[in-house]
């Protein structure tokens, strides 16, 4: 199916495969708004190769808005101490809600002239607060987000948001994992990166998104992959991959994906020294000695 123009939300992209199903109405591909106190953190990220090219070609419309621009007073205060005491500062509701409402309205204005379906969807644009207590991000959630016309990501800072922000905006809350970052910016980048690569045309090769870990029906992680050289530090490549037999290769990859997923799910205690059919890379010489020698001969620092 490679090289065929397929419709995605009413447009045809040559070479794109429908990773995300068509909605059947005309639109740009996706608008993402990022609300943050640190807009400069996104400069390199958004201009980088994949996202930069997709933005330049009009597949993605990604905008960054500074929450502090919506703060009041000469000091443009955005944070304050928590009622009832406790450590740190919280993001005040006023600037965050004003900023989000401005961005929602701006998107609606931009949709004037688009068809009714697009306008309705923009009106329902979900505001997503990035916070460690939110719904856990998985590939399933990423796929769900990538089917939306528009998402609005709000980055928390300090000890988090005043609880009324979520209620006032009818927001969803999203976490990228059970750990605490110093702010939602890096989490927003994770979401943008994972979501945008599912928008047809962004990745160049749509098949690779479909073969990614977690994207297959069983949500399996990918097994080991190899490229040239055929031998590296005494380690070879499994014969099946050099056999040219595509049926056998697909079967082997499926088996390896199952093994890799089981091993990942079992956690580190199950990995210690036990033999496995996934014991790879294939040693062709004395791999450990060669690796040790390579480490010994590698300069530790460059003056």
Asked if 173 contacts 135 with a C-beta cutoff of 8 angstroms, the reply is yes
Q: Which stretch binds ligand ADE (CB under 6 A): 12-20, 138-146, 174-182, 233-241?
A: 174-182
Q: For the segment 105-144, give every residue that binds ligand ADE (CB under 6 A).
A: 130-132
Radius of gyration of the chain (CA): 24
Q: For the segment 29-48, give every residue that binds ligand ADE (CB under 6 A).
A: none
187 touches ligand ADE (CB under 6 A): yes
Residue nearest to ligand ADE (CB): 187
Between 97 and 191, name the residue whose CB sits nearer to ligand ADE: 191
Residue from 176, 209, 220, 221 in contact with ligand ADE (CB under 6 A): 176
Active-site position among 61, 79, 159, 193: 159
Say how many CA atoms lie within 13 Å of 94 toward its Cβ.
11
Least spacing, CB of residue 36 vs ligand ADE, in Å: 12
Least spacing, CB of residue 266 vs ligand ADE, in Å: 24
Which parts of the chain fold into alpha helices (H)?
Answer: 43-47, 49-56, 93-110, 116-123, 139-146, 164-169, 185-196, 206-211, 239-242, 246-266, 287-297
181 touches ligand ADE (CB under 6 A): yes
175 touches ligand ADE (CB under 6 A): yes
Q: How many Cβ atoms sit within 10 Å of the Cβ of residue 251?
A: 12
Least spacing, CB of residue 184 vs ligand ADE, in Å: 4
**Residue 212 annotated among the catalytic residues of the structure:** yes
Total chain residues near ligand ADE (CB under 6 A): 12
Least spacing, CB of residue 133 vs ligand ADE, in Å: 9
Block residue for tokens 């406790």 = 86
**Residue 245 annotated among the catalytic residues of the structure:** no
95 touches ligand ADE (CB under 6 A): no
Residue from 39, 93, 156, 236 in contact with ligand ADE (CB under 6 A): 156
Q: Which stretch binds ligand ADE (CB under 6 A): 41-49, 175-183, 245-253, 263-271?
A: 175-183
114: left (phi over 0), alpha (psi -120 to 50) or beta: beta
Rounded to whole angstroms, how far apart are CA atoms 270 and 263?
7
Rounded to whole angstroms, how far apart are CA atoms 50 and 66?
24
The pair phi, psi for residue 157, each rounded to 5°, is: -145, 175
Closest by Cα among 173, 182, 163, 167 to 137: 173
Rounded to whole angstroms, how far apart are CA atoms 283 and 112?
62
Rounded to whole angstroms, how far apart are CA atoms 96 and 211?
38
Residue from 86, 177, 204, 288 in contact with ligand ADE (CB under 6 A): 177
Least spacing, CB of residue 156 vs ligand ADE, in Å: 5
Q: Which two tokens stand for residue 190?
A: 């994770």
- Positions annotated as catalytic residues are 132, 159, 197, 212
The binding site for ligand ADE (CB under 6 A) comprises 130-132, 156, 175-177, 179-181, 184, 187
């Amino acid at each position: 199916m490679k090289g065929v123009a397929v419709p995605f939300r009413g447009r045809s992209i040559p070479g794109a495969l429908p990773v995300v199903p068509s909605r059947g109405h005309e639109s740009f591909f996706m608008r993402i708004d990022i609300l943050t106190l640190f807009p400069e953190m996104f400069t390199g990220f958004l201009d980088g190769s994949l996202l930069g090219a997709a933005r330049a070609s009009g597949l993605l419309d990604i905008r960054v808005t500074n929450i502090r621009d919506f703060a009041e007073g000469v000091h443009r205060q955005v944070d304050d101490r928590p009622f009832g005491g406790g450590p740190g500062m919280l993001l005040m509701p006023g600037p965050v809600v004003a900023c989000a409402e401005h961005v929602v309205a701006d998107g609606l204005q931009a949709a004037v002239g688009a068809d009714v379906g697009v306008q309705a969807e923009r009106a329902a644009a979900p505001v997503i607060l990035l916070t460690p207590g939110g719904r856990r991000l998985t590939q399933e959630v990423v796929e769900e987000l990538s089917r939306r016309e528009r998402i609005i990501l709000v980055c928390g800072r300090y000890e988090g948001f005043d609880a009324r922000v979520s209620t006032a905006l009818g927001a969803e809350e999203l976490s990228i994992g059970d750990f605490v970052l110093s702010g939602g910016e890096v989490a927003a980048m994770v979401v943008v990166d994972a979501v945008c690569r599912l928008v047809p045309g962004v990745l160049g090769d749509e098949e690779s998104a479909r073969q990614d870990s977690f994207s297959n029906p069983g949500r399996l992680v990918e097994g080991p992959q190899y490229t040239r050289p055929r031998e590296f530090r005494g380690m070879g490549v499994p014969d099946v991959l050099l056999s040219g037999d595509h049926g056998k290769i697909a079967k082997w990859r499926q088996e390896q994906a199952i093994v890799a997923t089981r091993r990942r799910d079992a956690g580190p205690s199950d990995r210690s020294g036990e033999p496995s059919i996934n014991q790879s890379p294939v040693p062709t010489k004395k791999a450990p000695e060669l690796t040790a020698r390579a480490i010994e001969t590698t300069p530790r620092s460059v003056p």
